[in-house]
Structure 1
Amino acid sequence: VVRNPIIERQSKDGNQLLNIKRRSCWTRFIVRCAAVLQHVQGRCVQEEMNNTRNQKMKALEDIESVRTAKYC
C-alpha cells in the first residue's frame, strides 16, 4: 500500500470538520430536545395538578351529595 501523506492529511482535516459540524448539530439537537422535554414536563405537571384539583373537587361534590342524600 502506497501511503500518500497529502491525501491522508486532507481526509483527516475533512473528518475533523465533519466531526465539528456533527457535534454542533448534536448540541443544537440536544438543546432543542431538552427544551421540548422541559415544555412537555411542565405541561404534564400542570395537567397532573389540574387532575388532582378536579379529583378533589369531585370528591367534595360526592361528599356533599352523600350528605344531602342522608338529610333528605
Structure 2
Amino acid sequence: MKKINLALIGASARGLPSYVPYVLAHSDEAEFVAVASAQASLDNHLMAFAAEASRLRQGLVVEMSEFKATILASSACN
C-alpha cells in the first residue's frame, strides 16, 4: 500500500499537534513530507518583509540582495 504524503503548509504551532497523533497512529498509511527547503522558506519570508519595507517607503524599490544581507548581518549580531 502506498503511503499518503501529508504536507503541512502554513501549519502553525497550534495546528501541527492536531496532525501528529494521526500520523503516528497510522504511520503505515501516512507520512509527513517537506514541501520546501528551509532556504526557500527563509527567502519567501524575507521577500514579504522587503515588500513591507517598500510599502513603508512609499513604494521605493528594495534590492533583495542588499536587504537580505542587511537582515542576516543584523541577526548575526544578536
Whether these two folds match at TM > 0.5 is no
Larger strand proportion, structure 1 or 2? 2
Larger helix proportion, structure 1 or 2? 1
Query: Which has the bigger relative contact order, CA under 8 A and spacing at least 6?
Result: 2
Q: Structure 1 length normalisation: TM-score?
A: 0.32
Q: Structure 2 length normalisation: TM-score?
A: 0.30
